[in-house]
């Protein structure tokens, strides 16, 4: 595993714990989905998802305002010379997956209805 990959995973784990403890947005679940450090390790894109979806704006504002606190927590917990600059990015993968699942279920329901209608016609 490359140095950047190890750092990505370590940052993801530590940020997930810190966000769950320190970043409080009422009635909201924030999940850290990925971390991608730049090749020079100076910046890290942090992907997150939010449930419910309509709280995304509140979550990003809270994450932005908590960045310095989260960096402090990372400094205390990790043995790194320098903590990368954190850039928050909403990860819509879960939302897109749920939309795809809904569309598939809808298509399957329509197919079932067509099959029932055809069966009814064939019985006549």
What is the C-alpha to C-alpha distance for residues 18 and 68, in angstroms, rounded to an integer?
12
Residues 66 and 29: beta-carbon distance below 8 Å: no
Topology at the third CATH level for domain 3-91? GMP Synthetase; Chain A, domain 3 (3.30.300)
Instruction: Pick the closest to residue 24 from 54, 74, 69 (CA basis).
Output: 69
* The two structure tokens encoding residue 63: 């994450």
Q: Residue range 25-41: average pLDDT?
A: 93
Given pLDDT bands bounded at 50, 70 and 90, which one contains residue 120?
Answer: low
Q: What is the mean pLDDT of the chain?
A: 87
Q: Which of 51, 68, 59, 69 is nearest to 89 (CA)?
A: 59
What per-residue confidence (pLDDT) applies to 121? 64
Give pLDDT tens digits for 81-108: 899 999 999 998 776 667 777 788 888 8
Long-range contacts (CB closer than 8 Å, 24 or more residues apart) made by 15-19: 15/46, 15/70, 15/74, 18/70, 18/73, 18/74, 19/48, 19/63, 19/70
Give the model's pLDDT for residue 2: 77
């Amino acid at each position: 595993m490359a140095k950047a990959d190890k750092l990505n995973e370590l940052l993801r784990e530590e940020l997930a714990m810190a966000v769950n403890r320190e970043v409080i947005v009422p009635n909201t679940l924030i999940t850290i989905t990925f971390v991608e450090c730049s090749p020079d390790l100076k910046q890290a894109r942090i992907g997150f998802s939010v449930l419910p979806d309509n709280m995304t704006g509140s979550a990003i504002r809270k994450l932005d305002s908590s960045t310095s606190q989260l960096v402090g927590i990372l400094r205390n917990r990790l043995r790194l010379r320098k903590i990368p600059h954190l850039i928050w990015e909403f990860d819509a993968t879960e939302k897109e997956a749920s939309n795809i699942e809904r569309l598939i279920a809808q298509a399957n329901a329509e197919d079932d209805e067509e099959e029932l209608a055809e069966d009814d016609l064939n019985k006549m």
